[in-house]
Amino acid sequence: MPEKEPIGVIGVGWVGLCTAACFAELGHEVVARDILPDKVESLARGEVPIHEPGLSELVRKNAERLHFTTSMDEVLERTRLLFCCVDTPPTYSGDADLSRVERVIEELAGSTDHAIVMKSTVPVGTGRSIRRRHEGLGYVSNPEFLKEGTAVKDFMHPDRVVIGAEPGAEAFAERVAALYEPLGAPVVRTDVASAEMIKLASNAFLATKISFINEIANVSEELGADVTEVARGMGLDDRIGDKFLRAGIGFGGSCFPKDVSALKQLAGNSGYHFQLLTAVIEVNELQKRRTVGKLKKHLGSLVGREIALLGIAFKPDTDDVREATSLVLAARLQGEGANVRVYDPVAAGNDSGMLGGARDCATALDALDGAHGAVLVTEWPEFAELDWAGEVRERMAESAVVVDGRNFLDREALRDAGFDYEGIGR
């Protein structure tokens, strides 16, 4: 059996660590480099600083094949395919900050038998510009489509693998394709710019689907339809599909908001006004404003009102609060003069002060104690298991309102228990 190609991973954050651990699981020697010595040491001890189901087990199980280092020389010596997984955060203008990518490219400059395999999300045209400035450097675009909370499964069972390469880099593209062969997924072999666009367009389309169903939800509220029923009927059409048709109080996370803005910005920089994405962003903000409106509909002025936010994370099964709806809601509600309490089973304390004066509570019941209103922000299973008709009813204030921001709770049960219930589009 041919020797498995050793793999280099540059940048051991969420994407880098998932990539490193999964390739090690597939039997490859992996040399993973990060610039933070503390992180490298703790990873080398098998300590995984990220809340991602199944990841720490995979890192420990494959410790023999996983080598963490701060030394780029070690990576260059032992591997030829280097997966670039550094982050590309948005700048104030909405453009992607490529400074970390450029630093990695500089460290490889001049090499002809190494290839950069770009997994970081980069603007369309990045690969072309790097190749123009670093002739001879192998360059392959290989975007990731991992979702937080299911990243290991998403890596091992991808819907597709996208590999973008220009003439002259075919051999490297072949070697990258061979790495994914054991996964048996469709492989999209294309040019670099199209591969880069597949990533951004896929995220932007999913965000558009969410904003569309959120607008259907808003209209359904006016017309008396139930968006969950509408989504069920729509989703059976395989041209539409039932995934990402869950109406709610807005998408968040480190990808959708950033990638939608980056694509809109990219289009703008090239002179094209991407109207649809402008609306996608506006609808996402509108969902948060409507949530405050629903509380005020029942409570009137929110000055001095106790409001509980159930969930801080941008979605369940993660401790990530980046661009989370909870942050905007907490700020808006405090701006309305409300006293905000928050509870999250995993993400508490990760907001680095972005929740303002909101009070962090140890349990959901603590957050609900004496509250005039509650908003279900993140659909953690434990919130559906609360004793709404019993203990919660006793603890919350008289005639309390519950805004179910994810249509996650039992509407009838809450209404029977005497709550003013507000869903999203139902």
Catalytic residues: 255
- Stretch binding ligand UDX (CB under 6 A), from 21-29, 202-210, 388-396, 417-425: 202-210
Q: Which is nearer to ligand UDX, 8 or 316 (CB)?
A: 316
Residue closest to ligand UDX, measured at CB: 255
180 part of the interface to ligand UDX, by CB under 6 A = no
Q: How far apart are CA 307 and CA 329, in angstroms?
A: 10
Sheet holding 115-118, edge to edge: 66-69, 30-33, 7-10, 81-84, 115-118, 138-141, 161-164, 187-190
Q: Compute how many other C-beta atoms are within 10 angstroms of the C-beta atom of residue 27.
A: 11
Q: Which is nearer to ligand UDX, 52 or 306 (CB)?
A: 52
Q: Which is nearer to ligand UDX, 96 or 245 (CB)?
A: 245
Q: Which is nearer to ligand UDX, 198 or 392 (CB)?
A: 198
Q: How far apart are CA 38 and CA 25, in angstroms?
A: 24
423 part of the interface to ligand UDX, by CB under 6 A = no
Tell me how far, at minimum, the Cβ of 119 lies from ligand UDX, in Å.
10
Q: Where do the DSSP E strands lie in 1-127?
A: 7-10, 30-33, 66-69, 81-84, 115-118
Q: Which is nearer to ligand UDX, 51 or 315 (CB)?
A: 315
Q: Which of 139, 155, 172, 251 binds ligand UDX (CB under 6 A)?
A: 251
Q: Which of 100, 156, 185, 244 binds ligand UDX (CB under 6 A)?
A: 244
- Stretch binding ligand UDX (CB under 6 A), from 71-79, 109-117, 139-147, 329-337: 139-147
Q: Which of 25, 52, 144, 422 binds ligand UDX (CB under 6 A)?
A: 144
Q: How far apart are CA 145 and CA 295, in angstroms?
A: 36
Instruction: Classify residue 77 by burial, with Cβ atoms within 10 Å: 0-12, 13-18, 19+.
Output: exposed
Q: Where do the DSSP E strands lie in 144-207?
A: 161-164, 187-190
Q: Which of 8, 123, 252, 373 binds ligand UDX (CB under 6 A)?
A: 252
Q: Which of 25, 34, 52, 148 binds ligand UDX (CB under 6 A)?
A: 148
Percentages helix, strand, coil for the chain (3-state, rounded to 5) are 45, 15, 40
Interface with ligand UDX in residues 303-342 (CB under 6 A): 314-315
Q: Which of 246, 258, 288, 372 binds ligand UDX (CB under 6 A)?
A: 246
- Stretch binding ligand UDX (CB under 6 A), from 82-90, 252-260, 339-347, 391-399: 252-260
58 part of the interface to ligand UDX, by CB under 6 A = no
- Stretch binding ligand UDX (CB under 6 A), from 177-185, 246-254, 302-310, 358-366: 246-254
**Do the beta carbons of residue 201 and residue 260 sit within 8 Å?**
no
Q: Which is nearer to ligand UDX, 138 or 149 (CB)?
A: 149
Instruction: Classify residue 237 by burial, with Cβ atoms within 10 Å: 0-12, 13-18, 19+.
Output: exposed
Q: How far apart are CA 340 and CA 333, in angstroms?
A: 7
SS3 165: coil
Q: Which is nearer to ligand UDX, 244 or 274 (CB)?
A: 244
Q: Compute how many other C-beta atoms are within 10 angstroms of the C-beta atom of residue 92.
A: 6
Q: How far apart are CA 149 and CA 320, in angstroms?
A: 10
Tell me how far, at minimum, the Cβ of 254 lies from ligand UDX, in Å.
6
Q: Which two tokens stand for residue 153?
A: 């499964």
Q: How far apart are CA 145 and CA 186, in angstroms?
A: 14
- Stretch binding ligand UDX (CB under 6 A), from 100-108, 253-261, 331-339, 385-393: 253-261
Q: How far apart are CA 218 and CA 119, in angstroms?
A: 37
Tell me how far, at minimum, the Cβ of 316 lies from ligand UDX, in Å.
8
Total residues contacting ligand UDX by CB under 6 A comes to: 19
Phi-psi region of 137 (alpha: psi -120 to 50; beta: other; left: phi over 0): beta
- Stretch binding ligand UDX (CB under 6 A), from 60-68, 247-255, 343-351, 352-360: 247-255
Binding site for ligand UDX (CB under 6 A): 144-148, 203, 206, 210, 244-246, 248, 251-253, 255-256, 314-315
